[in-house]
Amino acid sequence: MKPFFSLLLFSFVFTVQAQPPAGYYASAVGLTGAQLQSILHSIIDGHSAQSYSSLHTHFQSTDQKSNGTVWDMYSDVPGGNPPYVYNFSSGDQCGNYSGEGDCYNREHSFPKSWFDSQAPMYSDLFQLYPTDGYVNGRRGNYPYGEVGSATWASLNGSRVGNCNFPGYSGIVFEPIDEYKGDFARTYFYMSTRYYGEDNGWPGSEQVNGSQLKPWALDLMKKWHIEDPVSEKETDRNNAVWEVQNNRNPFIDNPEYVSLIWGGPVGIAEYEINKNIRVYPVPAHSECFIDHQGYYDPYKVSISLHDITGRQYTVDYTVSDNVIKLNSGELQSGFYLLTITQEGKHAAFARVVK
């Protein structure tokens, strides 16, 4: 049976999506666990809070599709035709609704009742999204989760029903797979932005204050891995930065999730082979990865991605100790190399061209 190490590697394949200001995360280098979460809190704390009434205007920069319509994750069909679309106009804003497609409103993905509708959480753009009013109402303040048998489903496939994820069996709302990572990284942001600032929050079945309960933490780590950072999130992170003057660290550096809360649930051995060396830096026409004989040259698999997650096909040869990568056709930039072999711990390396 092939081990799960490649899944763990995937969490590193999409490292560093957005471009924070130089030195923005410098104080976080080398930290792990609660210490890292605390430092990240200090970095993103004290954002420029906006009024709730201004959010409809801000959505035009944070949640606008390329065709100018509202990017509603509760109704969107990625790669297909959504059942309805909204424009950024007062006529499409809720208002009253009786069914899907009537209007859109401002969804607290982290429900406001969980923090007693207090500021600045109430208008924090990193957790507020434009969504169909009716679907938003069906979600209510249910936790996010994975549904077994749905009691209701939206036109794009979001579902309500009892949770079948280990640790919780109450009613939950499940968004479509393509946006689960977006909401997971939203919750990691909330846990970190309001770390130590959640005294008196009512909480919920999903969170204690701002911190995820064990079952929910396992679920969000799973979603974080299965739905990696997208260009949509990168663009939104940059747009919110322009408004609030803070960022979501888990979009910029997805590996922070594992560094703070550990590896994703379901991995038998949380180990990575880090005993490798990459040279020269920067690479030229060739790049060499010294694995010190750990991998079998006839059984190893190599993949290469850029920081947006795009995969490249490159020629390589493997000897007893060294992988030689033909990097001559690559454009200048940062790449992530993954090395896997059945029965061996996976490895990752950054290639600079």
pLDDT over 90 at 340, yes or no: no
pLDDT over 90 at 302, yes or no: no
Assess if residue 6 is contained within a domain.
no
pLDDT over 70 at 153, yes or no: yes
The domain that holds 330 is classified in CATH as 2.60.40.1220
Amino acid at 233: E
pLDDT over 90 at 204, yes or no: yes
Regarding whether 191 and 236 lie in a shared domain, the answer is yes
Band of the pLDDT at 123, cuts 50, 70, 90?
Answer: very high
Q: Which domain holds residue 60?
A: 17-252
pTM of this prediction? 0.73
197, burial (CB in 10 Å: exposed 0-12, middle 13-18, buried 19+): middle
* Tokens read off for 329: 């056709």
Regarding whether 296 and 194 lie in a shared domain, the answer is no
Could you report the per-residue pLDDT of 215-227, keeping only the tens digit for each? 999 999 999 988 8
Assess if residue 2 is contained within a domain.
no
Q: What is the count of structural domains for the chain?
A: 2
Q: Tell me how far apart the alpha carbons of residues 116 and 107 are, in angstroms, rounded to a whole number.
A: 15
pLDDT over 50 at 350, yes or no: yes
Could you report the per-residue pLDDT of 36-59, keeping only the tens digit for each? 999 999 999 999 999 999 999 999
Regarding whether 107 and 41 lie in a shared domain, the answer is yes
Band of the pLDDT at 325, cuts 50, 70, 90?
Answer: confident
Amino acid at 335: Y
The residue with greater pLDDT, 3 or 170, is 170
Asked if 94 and 164 count as a contact pair (C-beta separation under 8 A), the reply is: no
User: Nearest to residue 111, comparing CAs of 40, 196, 172?
Assistant: 172
User: Which DSSP category does 183 fall into?
Assistant: H
pLDDT over 80 at 301, yes or no: yes
Tell me the Ramachandran region of residue 286: left when phi exceeds 0, alpha when psi lies from -120 to 50, beta otherwise.
beta
* Tokens read off for 185: 């990284």
Q: Tell me how far apart the alpha carbons of residues 92 and 82 are, in angstroms, rounded to a whole number.
A: 16
User: Which DSSP category does 213 fall into?
Assistant: P
For residues 225-236, average pLDDT: 92
Regarding whether 22 and 130 lie in a shared domain, the answer is yes
Band of the pLDDT at 8, cuts 50, 70, 90?
Answer: very low
Beta pairing, strands 316-318 & 159-163: unpaired
What is the helix (H) or strand (E) element at residue 185, kind and residue range? helix 180-193
Assess if residue 260 is contained within a domain.
no
Regarding whether 117 and 50 lie in a shared domain, the answer is yes
Regarding whether 105 and 45 lie in a shared domain, the answer is yes
Regarding whether 149 and 45 lie in a shared domain, the answer is yes
User: Nearest to residue 193, comparing CAs of 142, 262, 140, 244?
Assistant: 244
* Tokens read off for 312: 């490249």
* Tokens read off for 130: 């434009």
User: In this prediction, what percent of the chain has a pLDDT beyond 90?
Assistant: 62
Regarding whether 224 and 112 lie in a shared domain, the answer is yes
Regarding whether 151 and 206 lie in a shared domain, the answer is yes
